[in-house]
């Protein structure tokens, strides 16, 4: 069966992409007006714009008490390290909105990478609802794309993690060797809403290659992220979308 085409949302620039996603978040929360709301965050330049916007303009527009925050991946560094995805969100968002520690589910970077991956999988199973396949289900899984077509910490060299049995896995950056913990492909795809935020001319070629199903696209991890039982969205700026018809 051919996977459904993603919903494409194209805006002039990064700030307008961030604004559109903030409204998308509000709309999805309105559609599920009661109970906890599970959102996986990502790193990257556009999420930075989003977190800053939310902290500045959405403090009173979102019921922050409902959201449980997860991360599609994080680096095995201390939380105060500039490369920590969690640390970045704390500085830009959590320090400015009414959330409590019980809502924030971080990768425990004090553990070994293997133990951290196992512990994070257990946290997901404990906190999130599961589907019929036993996979934890996020309300929104927000993802980015690297210049090499990777997403979360699934790189072209470890593409097998897209079909792994474990919920979380240990990954290494192909150039630096840095250890990371990442959700695996089945979890990334199981969300009710999977949303890529991709901006900049540096992503134009890969966006065109993946969405056009061109030669070599299947070697890129992003090509393997569909929405198994939900919807797939791509939020793009005009530069990233410039190669699309």
> Each residue of 98-145: pLDDT tens digit?
999 999 999 999 999 999 999 999 999 999 999 999 999 999 999 999
Give the span between the Cα atoms of 63 and 79, in whole angstroms.
26
Is the pLDDT reported for residue 164 higher than 70? yes
Q: Where are the domains of the chain?
A: 7-56+65-237
Give the span between the Cα atoms of 93 and 55, in whole angstroms.
5
Q: What is the mean pLDDT of residues 83-89?
A: 97
Burial class of residue 213, CB neighbours in 10 A (0-12, 13-18, 19+): exposed
Give the span between the Cα atoms of 51 and 38, in whole angstroms.
16
Residues 50-57: contacts with CB under 8 Å, at least 24 apart: 50/18, 50/21, 50/22, 50/197, 51/88, 51/89, 51/92, 51/93, 52/92, 52/93, 53/15, 53/18, 53/19, 53/22, 54/22, 54/93, 54/97, 55/92, 55/93, 55/95, 55/96, 55/97, 56/96, 57/22
Q: How far is CA 156 from CA 146, 177, 218, in A?
A: 11, 14, 10
Report if pTM > 0.85: yes
CB 137 within 8 A of CB 190: yes
Angle subtended by helix axes 85-92 and 45-57, to nearest 10: 30
- What are the residues whose beta carbons fall under 8 Å from the beta carbon of 58, sequence distance 6 or more? 22, 26, 97
Is the pLDDT reported for residue 187 higher than 60? yes
Q: What share of the chain is helix, strand, coil (3-state, %, to 5)?
A: 40, 20, 40
> pLDDT digit string (tens) for 14-49?
999 999 999 999 999 999 999 999 999 999 999 999
* Residue 12: HSE in the Cβ half-sphere, 13 Å Cα cutoff: 2
CB 105 within 8 A of CB 136: no
Tokens of residue 170, six digits = 């240990």
Give the span between the Cα atoms of 238 and 25, in whole angstroms.
21
Q: What pLDDT sits at residue 28?
A: 98
When the candidates are 1.20.140.10, 3.40.50.1970, 3.40.50.300, 3.40.50.1360, the CATH number that belongs to 7-56+65-237 is 3.40.50.1360
How confident is the prediction for the chain on average, in pLDDT? 96
């Amino acid at each position: 069966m051919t996977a459904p085409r993603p919903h494409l949302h194209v805006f002039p620039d990064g700030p307008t992409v961030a604004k559109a996603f903030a409204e998308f978040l509000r709309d999805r929360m309105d559609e599920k007006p009661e109970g906890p709301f599970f959102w996986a965050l990502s790193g990257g330049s556009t999420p930075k714009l989003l977190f800053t916007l939310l902290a500045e303009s959405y403090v009173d527009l979102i019921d922050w008490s409902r959201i449980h925050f997860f991360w599609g991946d994080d680096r095995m560094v201390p939380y105060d390290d500039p490369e920590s995805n969690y640390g970045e969100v704390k500085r830009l968002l959590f320090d400015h909105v009414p959330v409590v520690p019980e809502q924030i589910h971080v990768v425990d970077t004090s553990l070994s990478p293997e133990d951290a991956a196992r512990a994070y999988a257990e946290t997901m199973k404990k906190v999130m609802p599961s589907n019929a396949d036993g996979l934890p289900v996020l309300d929104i899984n927000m993802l980015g794309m690297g210049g090499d077509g990777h997403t979360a910490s699934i790189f072209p060299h470890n593409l097998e993690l897209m079909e792994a049995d474990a919920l979380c896995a240990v990954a290494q950056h192909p150039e630096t060797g840095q250890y990371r913990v990442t959700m695996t492909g089945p979890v990334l795809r199981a969300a009710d809403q999977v949303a890529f935020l991709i901006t900049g001319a540096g992503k134009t070629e890969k966006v065109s290659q993946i969405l056009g199903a061109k030669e070599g696209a299947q070697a890129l991890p992003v090509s393997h992220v569909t929405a198994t039982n939900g919807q797939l969205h791509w939020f793009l700026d005009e530069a990233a979308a410039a190669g699309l018809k």
